Amino acid sequence: MCGRYTLISPWRELVRLYRLNDKYLQRNTEARYNIAPTQDVPFVHLDNDGNQVVSDGRWWLVPHWTKELQSKYPMFNARSEDAEKKPAFRDAYKSRRCLIPADGWYEWTKGEDGGRDPWFIHLPDMALFSFAGLWAHNKELDVTSCTILTAPAVEPISRVHNRMPIVLDPAVYDAWLNSSTPVTDAKALLADNLGTKFQQHRVGREVNSSRTGNSPDLVHPITD
């Protein structure tokens, strides 16, 4: 799964990774070291002219048809095995697929004292990447939102958790975003992911609280 992640990279890296207009170089948001569900996050999708654009939305999908902002079910992740069949995700899967930029995420194992030990998972050199995502806009509630697709974890991620967010290979970004790509073909694209390329290290338990201050110390490795 993915319950927390980071977006530390400057916006020039996002412009480089995607096909974004240079106007996004003027965006200068603060590095975020502990993004939690229900917080607003940026995501990349296509506009009506087929251009890649960035929107901000709630990281907890709110389907376009619901009348409630907060579902009793967790909606910040969607299982890739069957998301295209679920009423909450089905419409977004057809026409509102997105990319959610990140440069790391956290998973947890049980410590010897019974507490939760967080691990930071990232690419070499903390390279920017994209979660495969879905997005929605609910007109009645006036909320835009998104969710991250997950899959069974591969090594080395499986050492700390049995599931992982899907990190797409940049070669399939265009096809994933394009609503003319049939759902069956889009689902097949999820196999083109970077899961085996990730590294991980244990970090301090301060990250366990979403109220922890936004600090680079949260991703620093600990050895004891």
143-180 per-position pLDDT tens digit: 999 999 999 999 999 999 999 999 999 999 999 999 99
pLDDT attached to residue 210: 80
pLDDT, tens only, 113-139: 989 999 999 999 999 999 999 999 999
Lateral strand order in the sheet of 116-122 = 32-35, 5-7, 104-110, 116-122, 199-202
CATH number where 204 lies: 3.90.1680.10
pLDDT attached to residue 8: 95
- Return the number of other C-beta atoms located less than 10 Å from residue 98's C-beta: 25
Mean per-residue pLDDT of the chain: 94
Q: Is residue 94 part of a domain?
A: yes
Q: Is residue 224 part of a domain?
A: no
pLDDT-based confidence at 46, cuts 50/70/90?
Answer: very high
Output phi, psi for 166, to 5 deg.
Answer: -85, 120
Output phi, psi for 11, to 5 deg.
Answer: -65, -25
Range of the domain at 109: 5-219
Number of domains in the chain: 1
Q: Is residue 97 part of a domain?
A: yes
Task: Assess whether pLDDT exceeds 90 at residue 37.
Answer: yes
Indicate the Cα dihedral angle 118, 109, 101, 72, nearest 10°.
-110
pLDDT attached to residue 16: 95
Rounded Cα distance between 219 and 215, Å, is: 8
